[in-house]
Amino acid sequence: MSKSALTCEEVLKHLVAYLDRDTDAHTAAEIERHLEQCRGCYSRAEFERQLKSRVRAAGSRAAPERLRARIKKLVDEF
């Protein structure tokens, strides 16, 4: 198996967009390759998937813009 061209930092930077299927095919493929090889990033991706699933299951109400901005900032800083 060849080593992924993306670093952990790059994968985490694009992870939310990847999980939302909002990346181009090349980037998605690179992220998938990286996740196959990196336990840390794979675990983070699984956490984010489960979080998204639980948020969806909690209801269809939209979170206030202020809360969404705070969450996005925390994710971006991680």
Count CA atoms closer than 13 A to 1's CA, side-chain side.
Answer: 10
pLDDT band at 3 (very low <50, low <70, confident <90, very high): low
Q: Which CATH number fits domain 8-77: 1.10.1060, 1.10.10, 2.60.40, 1.10.3470?
A: 1.10.10
Tell me: the pLDDT tens digits for 20-76? 999 999 999 999 999 999 999 999 999 999 988 888 777 766 778 898 899 889 888
Q: How many CB atoms lie within 10 A of CB 17?
A: 14
Query: What's the pTM value of the predicted model, to 2 decimals?
Result: 0.67
- Does residue 15 contact residue 31 with C-beta atoms inside 8 Å? yes
Which secondary-structure segment (H or E) carries 71? helix 65-77
At what angle are helices 8-19 and 25-37 packed, to 10 degrees?
120
